[in-house]
Amino acid sequence: MISKEDSPTTTRAPEGGARVPKGKRRAGDVIFAGGAQGSGILILAILAGVAAFLVIQSFDSLMANTANFFTTSEWDPNVREEPAFGVAALAFGTVLAAAIALLIATPVAIGIALFIVYYAPRRVAAVLGYVVDLLAAIPSVVYGLWGIGWLVVELGPFYQILEEYLGFIPLFAGPISTTGRTMLSAGIVLAVMILPIITAMSRDVFQQVPQAHREAALALGATRWEMIRMAVIPFGRPGIIGGAMLGLGRALGETMAVAMILSPSLVISWFLLQSGNQTIAAHIALQYPEATGYGVSALIAAGLVLFAITLVVNMAARFVVSRRKEFS
């Protein structure tokens, strides 16, 4: 933190006839400070505006909706006289895809962060930091293209093995989709996409583990893994959780990869290897170009639900991360 200079324009020695009168406000200062503060307030206004406009524009369709918005799976906003639509299946798909992504990405991300901070040689570690950042810089639409053009094909045999040996678990029950455009594929691509953010957060917090803690563990004869388990993980847990929740927020809102990979249907299905399910974000992207009448307003209502979910997740994540700052 930088200590604030309260009134730099005041002169320190008033006696002896100060040339600059005490406490004079220069026009430049007033304008500049006002502009800076105004920008800050504008950001708050934009965020409030996002919420406000979504609420206002979704109002029409929600009023006209004849079905329960939260428990219905169908999406028929343009049936004359009685539009019926709901986000039940969409919300389920959104959470399911994000959960798959989180389950895959978190352990791997922790492993990478540990590798970068404690296992890799220092020179290599610096380069690896860039490489992980690079993974974050690749546009989501390219991930989608890669997912549908390469990953889905490569995963085919793997899915067959999964169905053959784990098919008794309902999650992996067949018949498997021949195209591979399934929930599991979408979840895997999402996992790759949120890997960098979880890795970055975990890496930051691992680097902040006090050296005294680590050396104390090693001095007591701990192996490297015991040192990590006893000194690093307890210290880093809030950072890992915060990072995972930020990743979750991103996975919930990710649009293109899901829209391009998943072959959608508006059902609530637990079968990860069959086509089906859909997420809110992908549904909006796919439906919007053809939406008319109440359609647009209904999609905005779905967007409002997504906004609310991600807002809660992100605020919780920030809360967890900022609490760590207070204690360390």
Partner 1 sequence: MTTPTRQTSAGAPGGGATPSPTGGLLLSRSLPRFFEPALLLVLAAVVGGALFLTGLFNVPLLAVVTLLAYMVTITIASAVVENGRKAKDRLVTAVVYACFALAMVPLVSLLWTVIVNGLQRLDGYFLTVSMNGVTPSMDAGGVYHAIIGTLMITGLAAVISIPIGLMTAIYLVEYGRGRLKQAITFFVDVMTGIPSIVAGLFVVALWMMVFGPGKTNGAAGAIALSVLMIPVVVRSCEEMLRLVPNELREASYALGVPKWLTILKVVLPTAIAGITTGIMLALARVIGETAPLILTAGSSAVAINWNLFNGQMMSLPVFIYSQVRMGNAINYERAWAAALTLIVIVMLLFFVARLVSRFFAPKLGR
Chain positions 21 to 80 lying near partner 1, rule: CB under 8 A, are 26, 28-29, 31-33, 35-44, 46-47, 49-50, 53-54, 56-57
- Distances 8 to 19, 20, 27, 37, 182 between C-alpha atoms, Å: 15, 12, 14, 18, 62
Q: Is position 240 an interface residue for partner 1 (rule: CB under 8 A)?
A: no
Peptide bond before 289: cis, by omega within 30 degrees of 0? no
By beta-carbon proximity to partner 1, the closer residue of 51 and 175 is 51
Stretch that binds partner 1, among 73-81, 129-137, 171-179, 203-211 (CB under 8 A): 129-137
By beta-carbon proximity to partner 1, the closer residue of 29 and 82 is 29
Distance CA 320, CA 26 (A): 42
Label residues 199-227 b or e (16+ Cβ within 10 Å = b). Answer: bbbbbebbeebeeeebeebeeeebeeeeb
Q: State the nearest-atom distance from the C-beta of 86 to partner 1, in Å.
A: 18
Q: State the nearest-atom distance from the C-beta of 170 to partner 1, in Å.
A: 25
- Asked if residues 68 and 253 have their Cβ atoms less than 8 Å apart, the reply is no
Q: Is position 202 an interface residue for partner 1 (rule: CB under 8 A)?
A: no
Site for partner 1 in 97-116 (CB under 8 A): 107-108, 110-112, 114-116
Site for partner 1 in 141-180 (CB under 8 A): 141-146, 148-151, 154
Q: Is position 224 an interface residue for partner 1 (rule: CB under 8 A)?
A: yes
Stretch that binds partner 1, among 85-93, 138-146, 163-171, 201-209 (CB under 8 A): 138-146
- Distances 215 to 29, 177, 204 between C-alpha atoms, Å: 51, 52, 19
Which residue carries 């639409």 as its tokens?
Answer: 141
Residue 186, SS3?
helix
Which residue carries 């997740």 as its tokens?
Answer: 313
Q: State the nearest-atom distance from the C-beta of 315 to partner 1, in Å.
A: 6
By beta-carbon proximity to partner 1, the closer residue of 66 and 322 is 322
